[in-house]
């Protein structure tokens, strides 16, 4: 059975990933300002790239935080 701290960390990761998707979508929309089909495609590409960058940063920070928590629990 998982410790309560692990469950809390998993929940935090889910919330952060949802925030990354929404935040990167808003950022991409404001940056590209799609008003035609071509710019709509550019928006989707930029949104995907920003989401991938955000996921990478979130996982890196999550790994660092999990390592610190693991070290403190020993």
pLDDT, averaged across the chain: 86
Whole-model pTM: value is 0.76
Residue range 34-52: mean pLDDT, rounded = 95
In this predicted structure, the answer to whether residue 7 has a pLDDT above a threshold of 80 is no
pLDDT at 6: 66
pLDDT tens column, 12-41: 878 888 999 999 999 999 999 999 999 999
Contacts of 62 by beta carbon, 8 Å cutoff, 6+ apart: 9, 13, 16
pLDDT tens column, 58-69: 888 878 887 887
| Residue 67 to residue 37: CA distance in whole angstroms | 45
């Amino acid at each position: 059975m998982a410790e309560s701290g692990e469950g809390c960390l998993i929940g935090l990761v889910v919330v952060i990933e949802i925030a990354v998707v929404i935040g990167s979508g808003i950022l991409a929309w404001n940056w590209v300002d799609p008003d035609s089909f071509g710019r709509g495609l550019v928006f989707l590409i930029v949104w995907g790239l920003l989401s991938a960058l955000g996921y990478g940063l979130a996982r890196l920070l999550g790994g660092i935080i999990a390592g610190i928590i693991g070290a403190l629990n020993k």
